[in-house]
Structures are given as C-alpha cells and as structure tokens.
Amino acid sequence: MTRLTSDFIKNLMKEYGVDLAGIASVERFRGAPPGHGPLDLVPRAKSVIVGGIRIPDPVVDYDEYHLKMTEMETGLGILANIENFYMQMGHYVQDMMLNIAATRLANYLEVNHGLRSLPAVNAQHTGLGHPVMEATMGFFSQRHAAVRAGLGEFGFSGLVINPRFGPRVRYVSVITEADLEPDPLLTEKVCMRGKCGGDAGPRCQQRCAKGALKLLPDIDLENVFIDIPVRLDRPKCIDMSGAGEVIGCTFVGTCMRDCPVGKQLTNR
Ligand code: SF4
Ligand code: SF4
C-alpha cells in the first residue's frame, strides 16, 4: 500500500486536474460556525485537502466583448456575456472540475486506505446546492479552507488572494481522516491593503458599483488575513434589479477582474 504523505496526496490531486493544492489541519478551523466545521461533517477528520483551479484571463476579462457584438442590444450583450463567461466558463466549469477531482481523491482515500473522506462540494454556480440564493453561507467555506491550507490570504474584496494567481482561482476541499502534514500558513501579506487604488482607496472597493464591500472595524493591517476583513452585502452584490443594465457590478466579478495581484499572466 502506498504510504500517504502530503506531497503524494497533493501530486495526486494535481493529476486529477487542479492547479494548486494545499493541506490544512482540522485544528485551524476552530471557531467555525456550528455545523460548518470539518469535524461537524467528518467527526474523526484530521486534515482538509484543498485544490484550486485557475480561471483563464480572457474569461475573467469578459467585460468588453459585448461592445463588438453590435447586433445585440447592450443590456442583452452584457447578460449573455455574464452567462457565458462569469457563470459558465468562470464558475460552473471550474466548480465541476473541482468536484470531480475531490470525488476521485475521496474515493482513492476510502477504497485504498479505509479513510472516511468527504468531497465538500463547491456548488456556487452548478445550479444545485444553493436553493436559497440569499443564504448567508454555504455549508463549508472553500475560501476559509484555501487560506488555512496556505494557498492565499483574504483580500479587501473578501476573495482569497493567491500570491501567483491573485483572486482568479476557484477552490474545493476534501475533509478526511488521513493524518497529513499541513502546509504552513502564509506569512507574507498578499493583498495590497488599498495601496493598489492610490488616494481613492482599495481598488476592489472603488470598483464595486453597488458599494457592497465594507471594511470591518479594528482589523490589524499588519497581520496576514486568515479571516475575511470585510463585510459583503450579499443582497446588493447579487441584486438583479435593472437586469440587462446592472447586475451586481454590471460586469459581475469586477472585484476579481480589477485586483492587480496575479492580474493577467497574459497581456490583454
Ligand atoms: S461581484 Fe461586483 S457587486 Fe459583488 S462585491 Fe464584487 S464588485 Fe461588488
Ligand atoms: S484590489 Fe487591492 S485591496 Fe482589493 S483585494 Fe486586490 S490587492 Fe487587496
């Protein structure tokens, strides 16, 4: 039987299709809301294995495509591009690839090692798993897991900022009884803490047309953020009023698109 090491498991996860892999111990989830911690779901869990898949740059940068599609009325063009790029190629595809990789890894751990392992679904835009869009939280926070597995820190946008790819990554987790060496948490800050936006303040918050991001009081700017430093007004973010003109921030995902960290490994 193959000896289970952290490197072996992360390489296996990468063979299953993820770009990033990291491991957190369950102790790092102390204080999770009741019912939403790894031990609530797998009581003898020891580790949370996290995988991330990057979103290609031209998918994130879909906000001008409608300008050239002159046969379509502007609002319709924006809506079509949100559906095609933000929803499908920037969410659904990554979410399902991640869910498949997580299921393969969970089956590997259960079948070959008898270790109970839950592929903790990433269901944001699969059309399943979120019957109530106004729900304040999913059943397991992939973002908190990614930070606790050393893959990034939270930014002023509330997104996980990976040092290489910035916020342009989706994540999934496998909660498992496998006792694996955790990766270190980041020790260097990644979010620019507003320096990205000059005198006008954090770029992500300037560009959030709905004003949905508000910095929490009393945050320590010197520490790496392992918890979300902002309050997201979710109803504002997903506001569908004026559909065709404004949905959330008109071009959903502006806080991801305009973050300079990891912005465009390629040229636009
Ligand atoms: S997706 Fe748009 S509305 Fe929502 S927080 Fe980001 S910038 Fe604001
Ligand atoms: S846009 Fe600037 S302040 Fe916002 S998350 Fe990115 S680096 Fe941080």
User: What is the best residue among 210, 230, 240 to mutate for testing ligand 1's pocket, by most ligand atoms within 8 Å of CB?
Assistant: 210
pLDDT at 62: 87
The tens digit of pLDDT for each residue in 153-210 reads: 999 999 999 999 999 999 999 999 999 999 999 999 999 999 999 988 899 998 887 7
Two tokens at 140? 């397991």
Give the residue, by CA position, lying nearest to ligand 1 atom 1: 253
Ligand 2: does its nearest atom lie under 6 Å from the Cβ of 254?
no
> 5 C-alpha vs ligand 1 centroid, how far in Å?
39
**Residue spans per domain, the chain:** 6-257
Ligand 1: does its nearest atom lie under 6 Å from the Cβ of 248?
yes
The tens digit of pLDDT for each residue in 28-62 reads: 999 999 999 999 999 999 999 999 999 999 999 98
Cα-based distances in Å from 47 to 29, 37, 113 = 10, 12, 15
pTM, full prediction: 0.92
Ligand 1: does its nearest atom lie under 6 Å from the Cβ of 261?
no
Residue 124 predicted with pLDDT over 80 = no
Q: In what order do the strands lie in the sheet with 169-176?
A: 20-25, 47-54, 169-176, 117-120
- The residue among 19, 35, 261 whose CA lies nearest residue 146 is 19
Give the residue, by CA position, lying nearest to ligand 1 atom 7: 208
